[in-house]
Amino acid sequence: MSQTRGRYDFCIGLVLAMSSSIFIGGSFILKKKGLLRLARKGSMRAGQGGHAYLKEWLWWAGLLSMGAGEVANFAAYAFAPATLVTPLGALSVLVSAILSSFFLNEKLNLHGKIGCLLSILGSTVMVIHAPQEEEIETLNEMSHKLGDPGFVVFATLVVIVSLILIFVVGPRHGQTNILVYITICSVIGALSVSCVKGLGIAIKELFAGKPVLRHPLFWILLLSLTVCVSTQINYLNRALDIFNTSIVTPIYYVIFTTSVLTCSAILFKEWQHMEPDDIIGTFSGFLTIIVGIFLLHAFKDVSLSLANLPLSLRRDERAANGSVLGTLHSFPGDQESSPCLAEVQSTESLSGRRNGSLSAF
């Protein structure tokens, strides 16, 4: 009976996690559209500390979509372990990338499509090899977990790092370095997931008729979650306003997932009883996701698709042949070598631009 119940909970958590990714992926697009409309109107931008987006209905639609996704995500954590729910967040990267190409005119080339596929495959591998968390049924057990010295040290480091980024690094480098605001959202997100897990346990106890509202931990978790989510929304808005959506979403996923997995491993001791093949599978899946996300946005400015791939290969081959012939047989005034030389120069110029783009990244 318990095994059947476990599979039922697993399926519910899986469906809720996938629904959450769809809502959250769409919310990035709606928020970005709203912020772009405000920028065209000349309003003070969110990246500069403005809050004009509160009057934009598209931004509110994005917020409601994200709220629906977070509610589904909240419920998913109540039914399934964090190591199952969190990796499925890669689907939000896929949804955001596809919708960006349709509604924000952000190109999704062949590299991006392969990156999306790798993100999905990596998430699948992580789900298959995900560790099983310890069963926690009551708030008293959760309170004991939160008081563990390892978690206390981790939470203290997260708070200190966040405060340094918010008050010291952010004002100086937040406008130019994409990692500043995203790191704030991600590390605080690890604490918010812990709060969500605890509140999910509390809601289950509440439905069972236990006096949860009298437990101090319930209100501490609720207040902590409110502060964490508010901070995440604020700095995520700033990152979206300044940087490209196709860059913000993948980087946010990588840092956020790493933070959550680290927090979950410390809080629930999930990795202590894992088999070596599951450990290798989990890390392999996560690295696959990172590679996929890198392909998704590192080569976003390279115009390459299945339709022009043969043409690109032929052009590269002609350029290589022209380079060899030009080196061996080019003479001053040789008209036949001029096209080859021009093509080689054009190829070198294109290569330089690509290398410059990657260096900037």
Give me the sign of the Cα torsion angle 16, 19, 24, 30.
negative
CA distance 145 to 27: 33
The whole-number average pLDDT for the span 85-90 is 73
Q: What is the pLDDT of residues 229-283, one digit of tens each?
A: 899 888 988 888 888 766 787 788 778 888 888 888 888 776 777 788 888 888 8
pTM for the full model?
0.66
CA distance 175 to 196: 31
The whole-number average pLDDT for the span 165-177 is 90
Q: What is the pLDDT of residues 54-66, one digit of tens each?
A: 677 777 888 888 8
CA distance 139 to 205: 8
Residue 358 vs residue 46, higher pLDDT: 46
CA distance 235 to 249: 13
Q: What is the pLDDT of residues 272-324, one digit of tens each?
A: 777 888 888 888 888 888 788 778 766 766 776 666 666 655 565 665 566 55
306 CB neighbour count, 10 Å cutoff = 9
Say whether pLDDT at 217 is over 50. yes
